[in-house]
Chains A and B, each alone.
Chain A
């Protein structure tokens, strides 16, 4: 989503994209296809995946999303917060 009202708000549960893109991405492999909770919006920025390919792109929200380490790695009591572009996310309740 490039314009208008934010799709997400703090506390929303979101699922990250599971696909492994061909080029540069800022969605780390360990956080793909995972469900986390939106912490806050971290500004707006064009998608890094596009810019890396020489495509300008429109600014979109970037989110801090918190995951339980056990959900990402199968173990651990801590949480991991990752900065993720809007394009990487869908509402967790939507079918994959």
Chain B
């Protein structure tokens, strides 16, 4: 099934706006997400293709509304829960379940 990420050549999307002198990260949290993902892949918690797959499995509305690193963060939390590393409650910062 073609997913929402696969939009190459598709009409109807606005033009890509290039940002002059774009920094690698627009906020500190983005750099943390980048580093966390690299560490989890290096530790073998999941691989790069599972990570891409997890982004593509996001609900379409969420995928389109999210920024680049918001998609990364959503995919990381999806995989941490699916791999049994952390519960969704823990990932939400509510380790006591309330």
- Seen from chain A, the residues whose Cβ lies within 8 Å of a Cβ on chain B are 20-24, 28-30, 48-49, 51-54, 72-73
Contact among A22, A29, A51, A72 with B6 in the assembled complex (CB-CB below 8 Å)? A29
A52 near B2 (CB under 8 angstroms)? no
A30 near B9: Cβ-Cβ < 8 Å: yes
Decide: B8 and A28 in contact? CB cutoff 8 A: yes
Name B's A-contacting residues (CB within 8 A).
1-2, 6, 8-10, 47-50, 52-53, 56
Bound-complex Cα distance A61 to B48 (A): 18
- Contact pick for B2, options A20, A48, A54, CB 8 Å: A20
User: Given A29-B2, A51-B47, do A23 and B8 touch, yes or no (CB 8 Å)?
Assistant: no
Report yes or no: A23 in contact with B9, Cβ–Cβ below 8 A.
Answer: no
B53 touches A23 (CB 8 A): yes
Nearest B residue (CB) for A24: B53
For residue A74, give the distance in angstroms from its CB to the closest CB of chain B: 10
